[in-house]
Amino acid sequence: MRRTLPIKKLAIANRGEIACRVNRAAKDLGLETVQLVSEADTVSLAARLADEVKVIGPPHPVRSYLNANAVLSAARESGADAVHPGYGFLSENAGFADAVERAGLIFVGPSGSTIRLMGDKVAARTQARNAGVPTVPGSDSVITDMDEAMALAESIGFPVMIKASSGGGGRGIRVAENAEELRKLAPQASSEAAAAFGDTGIYIEKLIEKARHIEVQVLGDGLDVVHYFERECSLQRRRQKVWEEAPSAAVCDSVRARLCASAVDLAKSVNYRGAGTVEYLYDDLTGEFYFIEMNTRIQVEHPVTEMICGTDLVVGMIRVCAGEALESTQVEIARNGHAIEVRLNAEDPANNFMPCPGIVSGLRIPRGDGIRFDHMLYDGYAVPPFYDSLLGKLIVWGPDRRRAMARLNSALDRLAIGGLPTTAPLFEALADSADVQANAIHTGWMEKWLEQNTDKLTSQGETTA
């Protein structure tokens, strides 16, 4: 017999499709829900679905969804005993997690100290290495000497990236293909760093060419951790994922086993509580994977994992954060078939993905076995311009990848979102591409493909002016 959860009422501190998704999980657990909204979101689908709605501030996210004090006071006033932060906004804000706990409420996520640790790139990398998780080979401290740079580059192998230690946002990054280039470029990077940041220090890191983005879903209860296998998210535009799959068709069972075990090792090393994702770069040529970072929240693409594992990760994270032990042991978690998710954004793919808010009309949602649509839409809904452009996610399942792709095509045919342009034409074109069909992709593939295929992205009949 299951103990009753120490949560009766859950405050949803997010918006859009994930707020609707969290509401559904809360309802499945028999919880009351209070949806915290900005003034622009009082008419949102999430507000319609929740038992109660509480306004936290003006439309701009800085004054509402990112305002930790306003969010926490509203949650307390509503009598909620737990807060679900969704993704983005305050979900990886360690101070907010601490404040929620200090106020005597349950934060549906890891402890503030875990969030803080994993949010610090250097500390997270060190933590990963100490847990035996492979990291991208490179210098762990600043290099100031040319001989040291050369010795390190030779030991990790070319090509290498040279980064200014004080840089950021891609500034001061150079690629050296061989020793000769390194000898020429390292001093340049160093002097450029000195000019720009007053610091001559550089870092050297192995360049993983044509890498895939593969990530492992974990769930922990603070003592034990299990994984729910991996997802592949190599189709990206400007480092934003647009299409995700589970499992990755690129890894074999032995790599998969090592990859998933390493994610569990890392999460166990921090007594992880809640749902989390350990992200890796995967090198097809060598079969090696390298830790990038850990995301300490539920992710946008979690449904593909749910589809192949037959689990509800949002329910799972609420339970463990409420103090329950993990429901399944690792051996009880199996995967079956293949799932694909595509992100429907309010953007015009024919016009350089210009974000285009508008009023939704003629909404037609495909239904049937192996089809799921997580979204925030209804006919007549005016999509506000103040937030992320994600409208919803179409998720399909098939017994194998080929049949999942077929179902994706069929579901896209039957999906209609009128009144504003969406990224649906992008996915029709991607599904047609031989490389995508063969899964011959990497994180840089889509931007190159876009350069040659913009003509295929003309939107099919939205904008009912």
Name the DSSP letter for residue 377: -
> Minimum Å distance from CB 389 to another protein?
4
Count how many Cα atoms sit within 13 Å of the Cα of residue 37 in the half-sphere of its side chain. Answer: 23
Asked if 89 is part of the footprint of another protein (rule: CB under 8 A), the reply reads no
Q: Is 297 a catalytic residue?
A: yes
Distance (Å, rounded) from C-alpha 402 to C-alpha 441? 16
> Minimum Å distance from CB 359 to another protein?
11
Asked if 43 is part of the footprint of another protein (rule: CB under 8 A), the reply reads no
Nearer to another protein, 323 or 418 (CB): 418
Binding mask 327-366 for another protein (x = CB under 8 A): -------------------xx------xxxx---------
Tokens of 180: 């000769």
Asked if 66 is part of the footprint of another protein (rule: CB under 8 A), the reply reads no
Q: Which of 48, 60, 403, 456 binds another protein (CB under 8 A)?
A: 60
Asked if 64 is part of the footprint of another protein (rule: CB under 8 A), the reply reads no
Name the DSSP letter for residue 64: T
Tokens of 200: 């001559």
- For 22-51, give one letter per residue: b (16+ CB within 10 A) or e: bbbbbeebebbbbbbbbebbeebbbbebbe
Q: If you compute the radius of gyration of the chain from its CA atoms, what whole number of angstroms results?
A: 23
Distance (Å, rounded) from C-alpha 322 to C-alpha 317? 8
Binding mask 118-157 for another protein (x = CB under 8 A): ----------------------------------------
CA–CA distance from 206 to each of 55, 118, 166, 261, 369 (Å)? 48, 22, 18, 24, 44
Nearer to another protein, 29 or 382 (CB): 382
Nearer to another protein, 187 or 357 (CB): 357
Number of residues that bind another protein (CB under 8 A): 14
Nearer to another protein, 108 or 391 (CB): 391
Nearer to another protein, 16 or 85 (CB): 16
> Minimum Å distance from CB 235 to another protein?
20
Q: Where are the alpha helices (DSSP H) in 310-356?
A: 313-321
Which of 297, 319, 343, 407 is the catalytic position?
Answer: 297
Nearer to another protein, 60 or 210 (CB): 60
> Minimum Å distance from CB 62 to another protein?
9
Q: How far apart are the first and last CA of the chain?
A: 57
Residues 399-428 that bind another protein (CB under 8 A): none
Contact between residue 152 and residue 204 where contact means Cβ atoms under 8 Å apart: yes
- For 62-95, give one letter per residue: b (16+ CB within 10 A) or e: eebbbbbebbbebbbebebbbbbbbbbbbbbbbe
Nearer to another protein, 235 or 420 (CB): 420
Neighbours of 148 (CB within 10 A): 12
Residues 171-230 that bind another protein (CB under 8 A): none
> Minimum Å distance from CB 38 to another protein?
11
> Minimum Å distance from CB 57 to another protein?
13
Contact between residue 376 and residue 367 where contact means Cβ atoms under 8 Å apart: no
> Minimum Å distance from CB 97 to another protein?
23
Q: Which of 13, 40, 46, 83 binds another protein (CB under 8 A)?
A: 40
Q: What are phi and psi of 271, to 5 degrees?
A: 50, 50
Distance (Å, rounded) from C-alpha 19 to C-alpha 21? 5
> Minimum Å distance from CB 457 to another protein?
18
Strand, helix or coil for residue 149? helix
Tokens of 340: 């694909």
Residues 375-394 that bind another protein (CB under 8 A): 385-389
If 0-12 CB within 10 Å is exposed, 13-18 middle and 19+ buried, where does residue 339 land? buried
> Minimum Å distance from CB 94 to another protein?
23
Nearer to another protein, 355 or 418 (CB): 355
Distance (Å, rounded) from C-alpha 291 to C-alpha 262? 9
Nearer to another protein, 174 or 375 (CB): 375
Strand, helix or coil for residue 419? coil
User: Which sequence positions are flagged as catalytic?
Assistant: 297
- Which residues would be at the binding site for another protein (CB under 8 A)? 40, 59-60, 346-347, 354-357, 385-389
